Amino acid sequence: MYKEYQMKVEEYIQEITGANANLTQLTKDELGIMPYYLTSTFRFYHLDILGKNFIMVDIQHYPFNVGQIQQQLQIVSSNFGKKVVLQLNQIDSLLRKRLIEARINFIAPGKQLFLPDLLINLSESKHNFTTKVKSKKLLPSAQFILLYHILFKRKNDFKIEEKSFKELAKYFNYTQMAITKAVDNLQRLELCTVKGTKEKYIQFCTNDRHQLWGTAKDYLVNPVLKRVFVDTLPKKLHYKSNASALCEYTDMNPLKQQYYAIDKTYYFELQKAGKLLNENEYEGKYCLEVYKYNPEKLTHDAPVKREEEEIIDPLSLYLSLKGTHDERVEMAMEQLTDTVQW
């Protein structure tokens, strides 16, 4: 449950701000300085974002009095000597208004992020942020749509620019709201426009797919949410990734460690069912790369295939390895985008 919560918060912050966040639980020793009435009211976490460390408190009881909560958060802040962020699973317009008026840092994943203490630091660093920070990076859903268009525009009967938002949602297994949000993200970064009134359609900024890739490069994010190690490979998992895929696309020699991509929804299902043998963050026979979007849709027409195993698409693979400090990988990556039939 904690890992799912951790990933939900970290991914939301990344989507909104474009910055990586790190959330970790406080230890029992750290919690020992807090009175029981607070540890029974909140769950406590360390939150690192943009070089600043907060104490995040996840409230367990609704509804609550904002004035009382403000006093309790001040006690937490005083005890730890750090600023505090309130994490909310529920929020309405009145509560939002009162929290903002009280200048209380809060995060409501999927709804709003309000960090006045962090915004002050960003302003001092000449970042132009509003209360609701607009990301200069692509959402995973927006990146998925863009990559699908680039990879399959000339190979597939399902052409994104010819399909309505409703058709896209059904085909890609997203909600219509998620598609609308993704397209808005693409449009805000000037990667597409929207045409149509009753039925809306995407129109990308250029017909040249190689040019589109180059234009979007600064906005693209690492599709891998996290990496975990296990001792047995889960069923239905046969998409090689990382170095295991790179050696299929290029002349790089295979590495001993085996890597496989897994959609985050399937990963959580396996985790909840206890089907990940000896899951940990350090070592194991297989490394599972948890993808922010479903990698299967981008691999069914990949240029390299095997009878039983497939490999991740070359563009997601490139983005997942970008910034890797390994000379063998860096050399192979120079060959990787050449496998795409632009």
- Alpha-carbon distance values, 309 to 91, 126, 188, 238, 248 (Å): 45, 48, 38, 5, 11
CA distance 234 to 243: 19
CA distance 195 to 203: 7
pLDDT digits (tens, 9 = 90+) for 172-192: 999 888 899 999 999 999 999
**Among 150, 160, 275, 122, CA closest to 214:** 150
Class of domain 140-219: mainly alpha
CA distance 139 to 146: 11
Burial of 96 (0-12, 13-18, 19+ CB in 10 A): middle
CA distance 133 to 239: 35
pLDDT digits (tens, 9 = 90+) for 261-308: 999 889 988 988 889 999 998 899 999 999 999 998 898 655 444 445
- Sequence ranges of the domains in the chain: 2-124, 140-219, 224-339
Please count the CA atoms within 13 angstroms of the CA of 4 that sit on its side-chain side. 10
Predicted TM-score (pTM) of the model is 0.65
The least confident of 90-94, 103-107, 136-140, 206-210 is 90-94
pLDDT digits (tens, 9 = 90+) for 151-160: 987 677 789 9
CA distance 91 to 100: 12
DSSP 234: P
CB atoms within 10 A of CB 101: 9
Percent of the chain beyond pLDDT 70? 87
- Alpha-carbon distance values, 104 to 22, 95, 99, 274 (Å): 20, 11, 5, 38
- For 254, the 3-state DSSP assignment is coil
Spatial neighbors of 167 by CB under 8 A, at least 6 apart, are: none
* Residue 119 pLDDT: 65
